[in-house]
Amino acid sequence: MQPVDFTTLMAVCHDLRANWLPARCEQVVQCDTTTIAIALRTLDRRGWLTVSWHPQAARLHLGEAPPKGPDTFTFSQQLKHQLNQLALVAIAPVAPWERALDLQFGPRPGDPPQWHLYVEIMGKYSNVILANAQNHIVTAAHQVSDQQSRVRPIQTGDPYVLPPAMMNPLPNPQETQASWQDRVSLVPSTLKTMLMQSYGGLSSALVATLAGAANLSPHQPAEELTQADWDRLFTVWQRWLMALEKGQVFPGRTATGYTMLDWDALAPADDLHGLLNHYYRDELNRQQFDRLRNQLQQKLKGHLDKLGQKADTFRQRLDQSAQAEAIRQQADLLMTYSHQWQPGLTAMTLADFETGDPVTIPIDPDKTAIQQAQRLYKQHQKLKRAKDRVVPLLTEVEAELTYLEQVESALGQLPSYDEPADLDALTDIRDELVQQGYLTSTDYRPQERRNPTEALRHLQTPDGLTVLIGRNNRQNDLLISTVATDYDLWFHTQEIPGSHVLLRLGAGQVPSEADLQWVADVTAYFSRARQSDQVPVIYTQPRHVYKPKGARPGMVIYKHETVLWGQPQRLRP
């Protein structure tokens, strides 16, 4: 993940000073353990300032409104108590070339600031610190004790101390090219290494942008650089310093992140804050998505393996119970021909009552034929009782397996993170497993209900009809209970776990055969049988789809169905 460097922070600082000063602080909300959102209002606009001290994604920019919910964090409550209804009157760097800003709050513009909110964007050492007018620390997002750092402890009541100064020389627009070139090329290496070791305030992304603007590679060795290359690079260097001084940045996306100096971009980003907000939101969501998906995969696999073993055990017992009638017949034979028994026999061969075929029955030498028959009768009764008890247990286990396979199928439809709806769908699966008792989560909180149609997958048939696809069991239930109308058609793979699919139709509208086949292909594609060539798919009207009382999420029964054969391979990209 690309960290916020000095150039990016100064670009944000310049934009905030130009467009958001002064602004009244109306609210402070802590979104998670490393992020707060501050509601700012000017004379003509209102926005949320995102401030994060995340070790990988520390940042400062305008963002989206935080989700509604209880805020139980102490840090945000302290900020809210001190800063609410005060004006953000100034934003200034705490020191030249430091990635730390001083957000100053006072009663009104022109008054001396009463509070300083120091936002330090420094990787794993990032922090947000609130100090009073005397510059004493009142609260901090992350307090640092003397044992953790003897260089710069951060404790309530201590005076605020600037971060340690950088040891490398700082870029200077007045420096001559000869001096600059001598400093950079003093220890020959790759271009990226030479620049970052020679000057402070640089980042890998910035060096890559500067090198690219000069038609060079950041990994180019020093011995391959010609004087013309050095001249172009110094021109770009000066251009960067001038843009930094004037706050004239050109934000844009790159293949791996973003840049503030996309001078030659054909379509640069229109909004600096929107660029940063979307980049870090997507990167953090992707990390959370991958972590949560792996966790759910492991949990589901463990439960499915255990249930599979339990089902196999029950089936073995049923197979044994199937022999109960044969054992009773053997007992009947022994009782009928008990007069043929002689002491010391280990087996008796007797004629079957119905077929007359010889049947050999083992006998314990210490028992008579009658005693052996009584043992077989007891064994018959035991197997019969076992069958009566095992059948409902096997039915219950198979129902649980069907449900978890449905959840596993939904998880398989979310292989990677592409949009925020993917993370929402995965979170719904996590919440469902918590509610069903398959998963424990200390940070689980029931989510606020969203518009049900927004999170669904939306597709269109060849004739332009809308198709809605559930991403998980919660959305599958919503398709039937909330979204579907009497005119729609409901699709699902027959006896195969998969997504519920809804073809939206108006009153009197009849879909074409091509559209029905296309939706059947889609239904097969979003099922566990995606790899098959042909998959049976049923469809019916939503009023013929029922959810039994007490059924698990996503489990329904249906009637009056029509069967089509879906071909999921047609939809492969």
For residue 444, the model assigns a pLDDT of: 61
Those residues whose C-beta lies under 8 Å from the C-beta of residue 173, and which sit 6 or more positions away, are 238, 241, 242, 245
- Is the model's pLDDT at 347 over the cut of 80? yes
- Is the model's pLDDT at 447 over the cut of 70? no
Give the phi and the psi of residue 409 in degrees, each rounded to 5. Answer: -65, -40
For residue 450, the model assigns a pLDDT of: 57
Residue-wise pLDDT tens digits, 524-541? 999 999 999 999 999 999
Those residues whose C-beta lies under 8 Å from the C-beta of residue 440, and which sit 6 or more positions away, are 434
- Read off the DSSP letter of residue 317: H
Q: Are 6-140 and 177-270 in the same CATH fold?
A: no
The chain-wide mean pLDDT, for the chain, equals: 89
- Is the model's pLDDT at 151 over the cut of 90? no
Do 203 and 5 touch, CB atoms closer than 8 A?
Answer: yes
Mean pLDDT of the 393-401 span = 90
Q: What is the CATH number of domain 6-140?
A: 2.30.310.10
For residue 561, the model assigns a pLDDT of: 93
Mean pLDDT of the 297-317 span = 91
Whole-number Å distance between alpha carbons of 366 and 346: 9
Residue-wise pLDDT tens digits, 80-127? 999 999 999 999 999 999 999 999 999 998 889 999 999 999 999 999
Those residues whose C-beta lies under 8 Å from the C-beta of residue 368, and which sit 6 or more positions away, are 338, 341
Do 76 and 83 touch, CB atoms closer than 8 A?
Answer: no
Task: Return the domain boundaries, the chain.
Answer: 6-140, 177-270, 318-397, 452-571
457-460 and 466-469: which strand pairing? antiparallel
Coil, helix or strand at residue 252: strand
For residue 380, the model assigns a pLDDT of: 78
Q: What is the CATH number of domain 177-270?
A: 1.10.8.50
Residue-wise pLDDT tens digits, 67-88? 888 888 999 999 999 999 999 9
Whole-number Å distance between alpha carbons of 93 and 115: 15
* Cis-peptide, bond into residue 462, ω within 30° of zero: no
Predicted model pTM? 0.80
Whole-number Å distance between alpha carbons of 96 and 94: 7
In sequence order, the β-bridge partners of residue 250 are 261
